[in-house]
Amino acid sequence: MQTKPKPDDPEQSKRFIETAEKLGCAKTPKTFEKKFVKISKSELPKS
C-alpha cells in the first residue's frame, strides 16, 4: 500500500486544497484535471 508524501509546505498545501474545493474540483482527479486544463488554456487579460 502506497502512502501520500508529506507536503514540503503544509500551509501552501492547505491553501491549494481550499482553493480546489472552492472551485469545485477537489472531489476527483478527473474533475481537477478538467478545471486545470480549462484554466491553463485561458488567455491572460491584456493590460
CA distance 26 to 31: 7
CA distance 37 to 43: 12
Q: What pLDDT, on a 0 to 100 scale, did the predictor assign at position 2?
A: 66
- Cα–Cα separations (whole angstroms), residue 36 to 3, 15, 20: 24, 16, 10
| pLDDT tens string 9-44 | 889 989 888 888 888 887 788 888 888 888 788 777
Residue 42: DSSP 8-state: S
CA distance 17 to 40: 18
pTM equals 0.52
